[in-house]
Amino acid sequence: MKEKLFKIALEEDEKTLKQIKKRIQNRDALKESQQIALKVLLKLSELNWSQKDLANKMLVSPQQINKIVSGKENLTIETLVKLQKILNIKIFASEVESKTNQRKRSIPKSN
């Protein structure tokens, strides 16, 4: 009985470790998706568009736009290009822009 419990516990530990490793690997992609979602939401607000308006322009369902703005969708290059063109925003450079902006904020201005 003790061996069976040990085996079950070991299998659960391995399963948990695999899930943790997968989350760590996906962390950068998730962070980028969240940055894109934020850019899209800000631009929609600026244009006074609803998610449905964007869906109509992109010829996709409102559910697809909802996935995009939730920041959890793994976007295709095609979708990213459509977003860039329709919203007139830079998407591909978001990580580079973020790092550049952080550096600019940390550099003191000289008079």
CA 12 to chain centre: 29
Domain residue spans in the chain?
Answer: 10-105
Residue at 77: amino acid letter:
I
- For the chain, give me the number of helices (H) and strands (E)? 5, 0
Task: Return the SS3 of 11.
Answer: helix
Tens of pLDDT, residue by residue over 44-94, are: 999 999 999 999 999 999 999 999 999 988 889 999 999 999 999 998 765
Architecture in CATH of 10-105: Orthogonal Bundle (1.10)
Tens of pLDDT, residue by residue over 5-53, are: 777 777 777 888 888 888 887 888 888 889 999 999 999 999 999 999 9
